[in-house]
Chain A
Amino acid sequence: MIATLALSSLIRHRARTALAILGVAVSAAMLLDMVMLSSGMRESFRSLLLSQGFQLRLSPKGTLPFDTEATIRSADSLVALLRSRATVAAVSPVLGGQLHFAVGNATLTATALGVDPAVQGDYELIAGHSPTAPDEVVVNDAVLRALGRAVGDTVRAAAGYDPQLRTLSGQRVLRIVGRVRFIYLALDQRAAALPIATLRAMNGPASAGRASLAMVRLRPGVDVDRERAALEAQLRTVTVISTSEALKQVDERLSYFRQLAVILGAVSLVVGFLLVTTLVTVSVNERIGEISVMRAIGVRRWRVVAQILLESSVIMLVATPVGLALGLVTARWLNSILARFPGLPERIDFFLFQPSAAWTALGLLALSGVLAGVYPSWRGASLPIATTLRQEAVG
């Protein structure tokens, strides 16, 4: 009977019920989006950093990897020292730079990464093979498109360009041996990778023995934080960054979005709560006479409360899945806007659906909506029966 009465009451005020469901659904969508935003980019970045299994990154003292043009001197001895440690499974040195490809009379510039192909963690091979010989290079689709070349072709490239003399320096003829996807670079960013020794030689003496970054993969079971502290204490010219440290930096830089997400998520929760409270209060006030009659004919107080709570529960239960669908659609739209950040790696998602977080948020909204009906329903069911009936009858 409770369910029938609750449903009849909702159906009797169709417009009001529909608007309430829509209002709660939009609140739920907003809350879901904000939960996805607050945790999504962190998780997305974490999985990006750990995707190749390197837990530590060494960059020039006081800098973040590739945040400046600074490089590590004597990088080869640093790599040798790292490889000699029992805790280290692999070390991948990376030198950043530029390659200028000659295209007719013009040049086409691309980001260049000098890597150790055997242990590199900067790209995924799509076609061909990694550069093993000194004159081999792998490039991404953006370079292939711009050059109009394919895997197997040769290109003339230089590491330096003097704009005043319009001359190229450190020129080499390189053979494209692979098509790759760079993990940490933007999708539309032209990039190429070649053996680090080749890039150093092309750069000239200033680059000898240097690296921009060294990535370290630890052996299974090694305590990452302890190893980071040990390396930091031992190596004075580099900053050692663990994944958690990098995430802390990311958190700091993107704290604006996280805080925005928390504020808007809280506002959504409050709006959902207020909406249901208002609806239930008005609904109870309208039906005071009806409630008093029910009480007068012997319906228990808890059954009256249960009926009203059921109404708010139905609104929440119908609105939450609608909100979930709406939230996923808007998250996709918002993510497509933020994905246009210049230089953002392709794999970074600002809005990441994590079932546990999403269900917790939506469950919280549903619970708050149901609780919002407790006070008005209890107040309605507790009114003095005779007085209320007389007032209702007299008007």
Chain B
Amino acid sequence: MTSADNLRAFKRDGRIVVVGASLAGLRAAEALRAEGFTGSLTMIGDELGEPYDRPPLSKQVLTGWVPAGDTTLPRRRDIDAEWLLGVPAGGLDLATNHVRLADGREVPFDRVLISTGVRARPWFVESEAALDGVFVVRTREHAESLRQALAAGPSRVLVIGAGFTGSEIASVCRERDIPVTVAERAPAPLVGALGAMIGEVAADMQRAHGVDLRCGVKVTQLEGDAQGRLRRAHFDDGSTVDADVAVVALGGIRNTEWLRDSGLAAGVWGIACDTGCRALDLNGLVTDDVFVAGDVARCPNPVYEYRLISLEHWVNAVEQAEVAAHNMVSGQADRWPHLSIPLFWSIQFGVNIKSVGVPTFADEVAVTQGSVSDHRFVASYGYRGRVTAAVSFDNAKWLDHYRRLIETAAPFPPPCPTPDQPVDMKPVPVDFPGPTLLAEGATVVVTGHDPGERRVTSAQQHP
């Protein structure tokens, strides 16, 4: 049989298993059917119920407008799948091509897509995380619990972590007229993603809306009362705040532990893959039958020096799902590379914040359009004299312009494209605190001498 015959037979009768039944998994399944895959399709997911959308959970759900159970994703087509929900995957055996479920069952496949995403990083002290009134927000159950707590009219909410999710939750609290304290280790909100200059703008915005913003502090203890209810938080500067609700918004943990013995290049940083979403094994070899998409994928981007980048962005999940699905049912010559410029949005304090590109891949930043004091502007990010990213506050119509600048490696700083030229367009150092996600790496050990024996093993995959 030729490879074309094989491919035709696979598209007709093959077995595809999708591990992770959220946005990326669903969109990939729809794309597989749209590409003419008529074989068996199995969807494995640890949550019960149909795939749902997560961005509304920290916004319109918490305001009380939309019930948490109402964000089920619309479907573009019937995917005619077998759904195995409520049990997470426990292992992947690439010698026999089986996914092992946590309950011991084994699901065979010819090709597998891994889209297991991330989970909320819990509060680091288990007994304190278990206090009544301590929440994370990742699933609809989380969002529903927090919505109920906010509806009960807490005396004060403490948000731990002023990234995008934490800031959005603080915004909802102020919208509901609930007193809120935000605690952030960095010097300002959003600094880890967008740098110090935008962080200052975000801090102004929070304080203008009545947030008690405390930066440069670390929460050391969540204190409960005799009934096990949260009543107070302690900070490393000795101060405290009384609160009956705390939201732990310290980012996510990628769901890769189940791949520990799979031989894939998987770890806390995600699962490495090529631009075609094919997973790499620990030796850096591309696999033929294992694909990755969504938050858990760590994909090289040629625009950013081919560095491997993981993105927890909605549109990244959608685009990688399309590319992975296409490549799962296509021959080598017809494969697509995923070459998008990343896009992200956040809605907080009445402002639409959007970004294009990778703001952490920058050494300088400059306001190139609009007015910072009006909270209506675009800031451009540059790396070694070329544009690598842009962030807009209520100026989304211009982001496509900046996307083209990034794609064409346009010189930084770019000229202002509109008459609303900012007073000060001078670039300043971008000043990110600490290591960024781009710098995260793996520790491995190489063994063997002959080319046929050389192998990589992972030394610190899951610290």
Same complex origin of A and B? no
Interfacial residues, chain B to chain A (CB-CB below 8 A): none
